Amino acid sequence: MWCDVKLLDLILPVRCVVCDAGGEQLCRACRDAFPRLCPPWCHRCGAPTAWLVERCRECSGRRLAFASARAAVAYDEGVRRFVRAWKERGLRSLAAVAADEIADALSPPPGAAGLAFVPPDRARGLERGHHPAERLARELGDRWALPVLPVLGRTRPIPRQRGLSLADRRRNVAGAFAPARRAPAGLVLVDDVYTSGSTVGAAATALRKGGARRVDVVTFARVVR
C-alpha cells in the first residue's frame, strides 16, 4: 500500500502535510505554529504545569522506570497531521524536522552514553517500510553527537494502544520489550509521541534490566491533558 502512496508523492506537486498548501512538505507557517513546550513542567514526566514540580497529577503514584520524560511540542491537530504523514505515509525527511525541533528545545541529558529507540513492531514496520522512532533516534544522534545503540528488543507485538485506559495500556505493553544486549549506565530512550508513558515505561524497564541505571525519555511530541 505505501508503495502506491510513495509513487503518488513523486507524481503530485509537494504539499504541506498540515495545511495542504503547495510548495513544501511542511510550510513555514505550520512549522511556526507548532505548540512548543517549555518550562515550567513536571520534572519527572514533562507535563506542562503552573510551576516547576517534582511530580504532577498525571504521574504521581505511578511507578515509572524512566527518570524523566521531555518532548519538543504538544500534540495538537497540526502536530497530529505532521506525525501521521511522517509515520503512515513514510515521509522520512520529516524525521529530520522532528529531530531539529528536539535539538532546538532540549540538551542531551547529562551522563547519557547513547540513544536507544522503541524497537519496531516487525509486522507494522514492514507494512510501512521504515521505522520512525529509529530514524528519529539516528537524526537526533547526529545532532547531539551520541551513538544509537541497538540495546532494546521486542518479545512480542503490541496490540494497538489507541482508545485504551491507562491500566489497559500498561497491561498491553507489560513485558513486550527485552534487553537485546548490555546497556550503558546512562541512556536516552527516543520515541515519536508520548501519550501515557506506558510504552516508554515498559521499554525503560527492559533497558534497566539490561544494565542501564538511568533512562531519560525524549519524544518529538507529547499528549497534553
Name the residues that contact Zn ion, by CB under 5 A.
16, 18-19, 21, 27, 30, 42, 44-45, 47, 56, 58-59
Cβ partners under 8 Å of residue 28, min gap 6:
none
| Least distance to Zn ion, CB of residue 55, Å | 6
Cβ partners under 8 Å of residue 33, min gap 6:
78
Nearer to Zn ion, 50 or 145 (CB): 50
Nearer to Zn ion, 86 or 144 (CB): 86
Cβ partners under 8 Å of residue 3, min gap 6:
129
Coil/strand/helix, residue 178 = strand
| Least distance to Zn ion, CB of residue 43, Å | 8
Nearer to Zn ion, 148 or 217 (CB): 217
- Eight-state DSSP code of residue 212: -
| Least distance to Zn ion, CB of residue 27, Å | 3
Alpha-carbon gap, residue 13 to 30, rounded angstroms: 18
Alpha-carbon gap, residue 144 to 138, rounded angstroms: 10
Nearer to Zn ion, 31 or 128 (CB): 31
Nearest by Cα to 113 from 207, 185, 205: 185
| Least distance to Zn ion, CB of residue 53, Å | 7
Phi, psi for residue 87 in degrees, rounded to 5: -85, -45
What residue ranges in 4-130 does DSSP mark as E strands?
68-74, 115-117
Nearer to Zn ion, 67 or 146 (CB): 67
Nearer to Zn ion, 18 or 112 (CB): 18
| Least distance to Zn ion, CB of residue 221, Å | 16
| Least distance to Zn ion, CB of residue 42, Å | 3
